[in-house]
Amino acid sequence: MSLEINHPVPDFELPDLEGRLHRLSDYRGKIIIVNFWSCECPHSERTDKAILAMFVQWRLHGVVMLSIASNRSENFQDVKNAADARRLPTVLLDADCTVADLFEAQTTPHVFVMDREGILRYRGSADDVTFRTKIPSRFFLDEAVESLLEGHLPELTDSPAYGCTIVREV
């Protein structure tokens, strides 16, 4: 099953770093950012800084961010240390890549934005950085979230994700 833009995202449940379970449906009524994340990937570290700077304002308007650690090559302590150091609000553990597979997430970061009804409105890269473009000039995630906060759909709904490949087997 492939997630489609403008369709509901199926519910899932994952534990956070303290072992508490979180369901996607727990956040219905809020704009949700699902960010496939890595403690080792320099692209995740770079985008964490930009996303968190924007998130300071967004969370005041009912936006939540769920960072999902799906790399089977990363151990719990390294994930926890990086999440704490970067001050990420909610990091969920996807040890068997079930949710990464559901979202067809390929890289870290790979972001997905759902509206308040749980409808997928954007998926792809957080910004326009690529192998050839080292400095971002456009923040796709910011555009998507701001559009939803303003009450309209994002113009850009899909972009190629760019970052480190999610390690599904070790």
Look up the domain containing 144 and give its range. Answer: 31-165
Band of pLDDT at residue 129, cut at 50, 70 and 90: confident
Give domain status of residue 149, yes or no.
yes
Give domain status of residue 25, yes or no.
no
Confidence (pLDDT) at 24: 97
Give domain status of residue 62, yes or no.
yes
Rounded Cα–Cα distance for residues 73 and 12 (Å)? 22
Structure tokens at 95: 């040890």
Give domain status of residue 16, yes or no.
no
- The string over 35-64, giving b where at least 16 C-beta atoms fall within 10 Å of a residue's C-beta and e elsewhere, is bbbbbebebbbbbbebbeebbeebeeeebb
Give domain status of residue 39, yes or no.
yes
Q: How many domains does the chain have?
A: 1
Q: What is the distance between the terminal CA atoms of the chain, rounded to a whole angstrom?
A: 25
* Lowest-confidence pick of 69-73, 113-117, 133-137: 133-137
CATH number, domain containing residue 68 = 3.40.30.10
Give domain status of residue 26, yes or no.
no
Give domain status of residue 15, yes or no.
no
Q: What is the pLDDT of residues 49-70, one digit of tens each?
A: 989 999 989 999 999 999 999 9
Rounded Cα–Cα distance for residues 25 and 2 (Å)? 19
Is residue 133 over pLDDT 80?
Answer: no
Rounded Cα–Cα distance for residues 163 and 103 (Å)? 16
Give domain status of residue 22, yes or no.
no
